[in-house]
Amino acid sequence: MAENCLSCNEVITGKYCSNCGQKAKLDRINGHYIKHEIEHVLHLEKGIFYTVKELILRPGKTVRSFISENRTRLVKPIIFVIVTSLIYSLLSHAFHVETSYISFQNTDGGSAVNYLDKWVNDHYGYSNLMMSIFIGLWIRLFFRNYDYNLYEILILLCFVMGVCMLVFSIATVLQGLTHVSFYITGSVIFLIYATWAIGDFFDGSKKKNYFKALGAYLLGMLSFSFLVAFLGLFIDFLIKNFAA
């Protein structure tokens, strides 16, 4: 006897709805279901460890391949940067290491600048995605002779910033275990990797590309920081002058 799909009400004649693809009979939500959903979100069946390994060993080739050849072997870029940022946030709270790699606090504790600074450093996933836009615009300017659009550059940056978040995660664990600050070491490795990965993506044989990559990355971070600080100061100005 045919049944109607609980999702779209289409008549189902097999195991799946021909209209929306939902199963005719949904599985029970149990431990196996939760495990499968987590694996699906992290794309573990395709290898998050494989993604990290390839991005560390050959970032330029790996991202170029993802953009133009094969998009099934790597974890999706936006998921990758959000998950790695979440890992860093959880570890920094677990080890009580609150060092921020971006900070523009005001001396006034109640300032909107401070609230925005806290939001940025409490939501690294979203912050990294927003910062990527600024870095991407500088990269697009510096590498305008290459045939990559802004969206493809943002894919590159999601992968790059994801690896950088893992670098900070390792530095956080080491600092939590040894009580010795690894912030500067992590920051140096962070910038070296970002510079190498971006330069390698465009053309690793040209040394000038690495200098342009470093400049674009630093200018993008500064542009993002200045804009957020300016927005906070502007909000403070409005509150001070127009509040009832």
User: Mapped to the 3 state alphabet, what secondary structure does the chain carry?
Assistant: CCEECCCCCCEECCCECCCCCCECCCCCCCHHHHHHHHHHHHCHHHCHHHHHHHHHHCHHHHHHHHHHCCCCCCCCHHHHHHHHHHHHHHHHHHCCCCCCCCCCCCCCCCCHHHHHHHHHHHCHHHHHHHHHHHHHHHHHHHCCCCCCCHHHHHHHHHHHHHHHHHHHHHHHHHHHHHCCCCHHHHHHHHHHHHHHHHHHHHHCCCHHHHHHHHHHHHHHHHHHHHHHHHHHHHHHHHHHHHCC
Q: With a cut of 70, say whether residue 223 has pLDDT above it.
A: yes
In this prediction the pTM is 0.76
Both structure tokens of 62: 């790996």
pLDDT for the residue 42: 56
| Residues 22, 3: Cα–Cα separation, whole Å | 13
Q: Count CB atoms within 10 A of the CB of residue 190.
A: 21
Q: With a cut of 80, say whether residue 122 has pLDDT above it.
A: no
Rounded percentage of the chain residues whose pLDDT exceeds 70? 87
pLDDT for the residue 98: 66
pLDDT for the residue 96: 82
Task: Report pLDDT digits (tens) over 144-153.
Answer: 999 999 999 9
Q: Band of the pLDDT at 9, cuts 50, 70, 90?
A: confident
pLDDT, averaged across the chain: 84
pLDDT for the residue 83: 85
